[in-house]
Structure 1
Amino acid sequence: MLIHFLHTDQQECIPCLSQDYPNPERNQCLPKAVTFLSFEDPLGMALACTALFFSVSTVIVLGIFLKHQESAIVKANNKTLSYILLISILLCFLCSFFFIGHPNTASCILQQITFALVFTLAISTILAKTITVILAFRVMKPGRTMRRLFVSGVYNVVIPICVLIQLILSGVWLGTSPPYIDTDVHSEHAQVIILCNKGSVTAFYCVLAYLGTLALGSFTVAFLVRNLPDTFNEAKFLTFSMLVFLSVWVSFIPVYQSTKGKAMVAVEVFSILASSAGLLGCIFFPKCYIILLRPDKNSLRCIKNKQK
């Protein structure tokens, strides 16, 4: 470790380099310690444990749905879309691990691109599930058009189209100004913080804006159909999940802009975990409650009684 000594009683002060800081006597320049949001850091460890807990919870929920895939509640809510949504939520939890640990070029790129794509997959699946509720209700009424749309599974086209648009935005981001490793020498007095620079800030907020638009659209559609007599109140659960999701990310932007260093990374990870947990809890925990604790409601007779 190098220590730069300064002479006392000089005519003018010589400032320390950006990677150094002065000692209390201000006659030496000491090197700053290099730091980042690591797994050994209490904050990083707490976030990693939280991500692991919810990842395991998602796998358990997926296992419950696979085990009871022939039950009424799983079939009534389009089990294929439920599987896709659960897998995308699991990937949302897992992508938070890219933000913890020593940053490198690969992790800087993967953390942002993976975050954008898996959340787009999750929100577009929720939009597809909402459209399914609408078509399922309309198909009960006379009219061949709605019935053909429902049978053909046209709502599944929503997912690849939405993901493709986000993929194009991410490709433009990587092609113009991709994320890279950067250092923050100003946030902490005696530390140099290694973190990932977003590269193009405009591209980053375009990706967030697209996610926000997609989430707002999903919330609007779900809210408009929340009172339809769908089985197991699926539309209401979707509406509440999107409300939680939007609340988290609307709060994220001002907090993210006002923080620096490791706290900025922690805020983004917390928002990822909180919004993903909101989707998992609001949409799937009520169904698991019925499957495991109220099997009397998980029957065709119950469905017919609700539809009367």
Structure 2
Amino acid sequence: VAFMSHREIKILASELHKQNVTGLQWIGSDAWITDLSFADGEGHSVLLGSLGFTVPKAKIPGLEEHLRQLHPSQFPSSQFVKDFWEEAFDCSLNDTVNSERRPCSGTESLQTVESQFTDVSELRFTNNVYKSVFAVAHALDLIIKCGGDEAPSSSRNCFDPKHIQPWQILQSLHRVNFTTVNGQRVYFDRNGDSPARYELVNLQITARGIMEGETVGIYDASFPDDQQFIMNNISVVWANGLLEAPVSECSKKCLPGTYKVLQKGKPICCHDCIPCPAGEITNLTSLQCFKCPLEFWSNNQRDSCIPKPVEFLSYSEILGMVLATCSLLGIFLTTIATLIFFTHKETPIVRANNSELSFLLLVSLTLCFLCSLTFIGRPTEWSCMLRHTAFGMTFVLCISCVLGKTMVVLIAFRATRPGSNIMKWFGAPQQRLSVLAFTLIQVLICLLWLTTSPPFPFMNFVLFEDRIVLQCDLGSAIGFYAVLGYIGFLAVLCFVLAFLARKLPDNFNEAKCITFSMLIFTSVWITFIPAYVSSPGKLSDAVEIFAILASAYGVLFCIFLPKCWIILFRPEQNTKKHIMGKTIKVDIQY
């Protein structure tokens, strides 16, 4: 940016030419951008393509004709006119002493003389003087006419036209509003300012091969806001005569998805474009990154917000399919075991292990495998309430059956003692009642949980920034841990009783199988709690499904697999004599 006079820019252009400095885009002030005196100077080509705003030029009607009619006789006391006349015609006037020039004949005329004095093609500031004179003339006219015919009578101020004061003219100038003969409107706003008007001038090489200022745009503050700056249909010439706008690395516009970071130690126009952080974007209108709404996330280009993907354990993903397959496999194996027991329900091995509790245990295991499927799929209000309560009740039913079988084993061997009638106090009705009582307690816990603070689906925005985890909130953590605690209490009780009965004399002592099954069950659920708490999102559901399947498979394999093996592949062991051995003489049928 060169804010200097035409003399100073000539010196600068000459020095730049000597130093071979080119390719700079110059912005000039009105003092030299329209001054063509340096167009043929040394290094003028350095300024090719310069741009600058200046006062608009205008044609003043009659001015050129008036100037060409001037004669020294009209201004006998003007030394300027005398010097100009002698220089223009290379002659000497009578009242000047110049022996080197011939005397002026008096017939000289400016009609054919081309000089800066007669050139009116670049009247810029002269036009302002022209308009100023007319403005004062209009102000005087308003004073003489007492404000004008258009002014209301109440606001007219009449002054003595023979004694007009400067402040009266200033007051009258505020009401001036006229249009010159060349179409320029002249008026003043409430601050006394005239609307700004400028031309955007570009230094170009014309068809004649010389550098001149070409008007490529106009700025007029009197126009509407969206029309104040208008570009002409003239191509702008930039530095080095290029027709394409130069691109400065220090002012490169950042693309959407990036924001400006000033370069340390460099001018303020120099910056780097840094990609927005994840979750933030910029667009064409913003300069700084801003965060996406809660349910949205930035795309890879960081220029728009897109809805966050909703994540939950579904049947379409590999983990969901594997868990669902394991659950269905458990249902299939339990069904096979049920069919085997049903077809051999009259055999000693089925009768000796309480066939009624065995079938009820198989039904509860089937329900346990089924309830694991409720943890897969999009969580809803009903599925959230069903998954935990169904899991709690089915597992209590399962453990109650195992506990009943354990108590049968203990009481059965105590009943072999002489004079013992303990079996009549724990017969089939008492066994059914115990299973029902243990299960009803869990049902009451679940009902209390569902009525006070039931589980519900919710969107977890905190766990991950770039996605939403749709999961079931426990509602009341106390209710959830009460359900788990009751299952754990029954499992530990069953494990203790089975452990006490493990060495009772029998060729097929079921207490050993129950001990191993409860050992697996308690181990799984002891490790479940820390794994469940530390697993994020849908993995917590997968951990719970794994715990359900592992404990259910443990009970199924430990209790029923040995019996099915004997029924199918060792029928010679499926006899009353083999099962009772020589130590037990009482047939137990329940």
- Report the TM-score, using the length of structure 1 for normalisation: 0.93
Partner of 2:549: 273
Label 1:154 to 1:100 Cα distance change in 2 as closer, same or farther (>3 A): same
CA distance in 2, matches of 1:37, 1:231: 46
The code of the aligned residue for 1:6 comes to: T
Residue 212 (1) aligns with residue 488 (2): yes
1:60 to 336, 339, 344: 336
- Alpha-carbon deviation of 1:138? 1.1
1:172 paired residue number: 448
* Alpha-carbon offset, residue 5 of structure 1: 5.8
**Matching of residue 201 in structure 1 with residue 483 in structure 2:** no
Superposed, 1:121-160 pairs within 5 Å as: 121-151=397-427, 153-160=429-436
Report how far residue 151 of structure 1 moved.
4.0
Aligned-pair distance for 1:26? Answer: 4.0
Q: Distance in 1 between matches of 2:574 and 2:466?
A: 60
Letter paired with 1:246:
T
Separation of aligned partners in 1, 2:377 and 2:583? 52
Letter of the structure 1 residue corresponding to residue 445 of structure 2: L
Percent identity over the alignment is: 44
- Give the counterpart of 1:258 among 529, 534, 548: 534
Distance, in Å, in 2 between the alignment partners of 1:267 and 1:152 is 37
Partner of 2:497: 221
Match of 2:347 among 67, 71, 78: 71
Instruction: Tell me the equivalent position of 2:573.
Output: 297
Identify if the C-alpha distance between structure 1 residues 232 and 113 changes in structure 2 by more than 3 Å, giving closer, same or farther: same
Counterpart of 1:291, as a letter, is I
Of residues 307, 312, 320 in structure 2, which corresponds to 1:31? 307
CA contact (8 A) 1:229 1:306 kept: no
Structure 1 residues 142 and 152, CA, compared in 2 at 3 Å: closer, same or farther?
farther
1:128 to 1:304, Cα distance in 2 relative to 1, 3 A: closer
Distance 1:142 1:182 in 2: 63
CA contact 2:281–2:291 (8 Å) conserved in 1: no
Match of 1:187 among 454, 463, 474: 463
Question: What is the CA-CA distance between 1:150 and the residue it aligns to?
Answer: 3.9
Q: Tell me if structure 2 keeps the 8 A contact 1:6–1:29.
A: no
Deviation at residue 147 of structure 1 after TM alignment: 3.2
Quick check: 1:84 aligned with 2:360? yes
Cα distance in 2 for residues equivalent to 1:220 and 1:8: 72
Question: 2: CA distance between counterparts of 1:283 and 1:17?
Answer: 55
Indicate how the Cα distance of structure 1 residues 260 and 306 shifts in structure 2: closer, same or farther if over 3 A, else same.
farther
**Structure number with higher helix proportion:** 1
Amino acid at match of 2:491: A
Contact 2:507 2:581 in 1 (8 A): no
Paired residues of 1:231 and 1:307 also in contact (CA < 8 A): no
TM-aligned CA deviation for residue 10 of structure 1:
5.9
Which of 71, 95, 108 aligns to 2:384? It is 108
Kindly provide the amino acid, as one letter, of the partner of residue 534 in structure 2. Answer: S
SS at match of 2:290: coil
Q: Give, as a single letter, the amino acid of the residue that structure 2 aligns with 1:96.
A: S
SS of the residue aligned with 1:186?
coil
Going from structure 1 to structure 2, the CA distance change for 1:304 and 1:224 (only over 3 Å counts) comes to closer
Question: Residue 98 of structure 1 is aligned with which of 360, 368, 374?
Answer: 374
- Equivalent residues of 1:113, 1:170 under 8 A apart: yes
Q: Contact 2:312–2:471 at 8 Å: present in 1 too?
A: yes
Q: Distance in 1 between matches of 2:427 and 2:369?
A: 33
1:220-250 Cα shifts (integer Å, max 9, x gaps)? 1111111112451200000110000001000
Give 1:202's aligned amino acid: I
TM superposition shift of 1:183: 1.2
Secondary structure in 2 matching 1:53 = helix
Q: Counterpart of 1:81 in 2: which secondary structure?
A: helix
What CA deviation, in whole Å up to 9, does each residue of 1:260-307 have, x standing for no partner? 111111111111111100000000000001000100100112124253
Greater mean deviation of Cα atoms: 244-253 or 135-144 = 135-144
The equivalent residue for 2:111 is: none
Distance in 2 of aligned mates of 1:8 and 1:142: 96
Point out the more displaced range, 88-97 or 3-12.
Answer: 3-12
In structure 2, C-alpha distance between the alignment counterparts of 1:147 and 1:101, rounded to whole Å: 48
**1: CA distance between counterparts of 2:553 and 2:412?**
27
SS in 1 for 2:291: coil
Q: Supply the distance in 2 between the matched residues of 1:101 and 1:147 (Cα, whole angstroms).
A: 48
Aligned-partner Cα distance in 2 for 1:152–1:187: 51
CA displacement at 1:13 relative to structure 2 = 4.6
How far apart are the structure 2 equivalents of 1:199 and 1:36?
Answer: 18
144-153 vs 289-298, greater mean Cα deviation: 144-153
CA gap 1:40/1:251 in 2 versus in 1, 3 angstroms: same
SS of 2:468's equivalent in the other structure is: strand
> Paired residue for 2:232?
none
**Aligned-pair distance for 1:188?**
3.6
Distance in 2 between residues matched to 1:28 and 1:152, nearest whole Å: 70
Which letter does structure 2 place at the counterpart of 1:216? V
DSSP 3-state at the match of 1:169: helix
**Helix, strand or coil at the partner of 1:232:** coil
Q: Following TM superposition, by how much is the alpha carbon of 1:100 offset from its aligned partner in structure 2, in angstroms?
A: 0.7
Q: How many pairs does the alignment contain?
A: 306
Where relative contact order (Cα < 8 A, 6+ residues apart) is larger, the structure is 1
Q: Secondary structure at the match of 2:469?
A: strand
Distance 1:87 1:231, change over 3 A: farther
The answer to which of 249-258 and 156-165 deviates more is 156-165
> 1:197 offset after TM fit, Å?
1.2
**2: CA distance, partners of 1:208 / 1:140:** 37
**3-state secondary structure, aligned to 1:307:** coil
Rate the CA distance shift 1:80–1:31 in 2: closer, same or farther, 3 A.
Answer: same
Q: Which residue matches 1:244?
A: 520
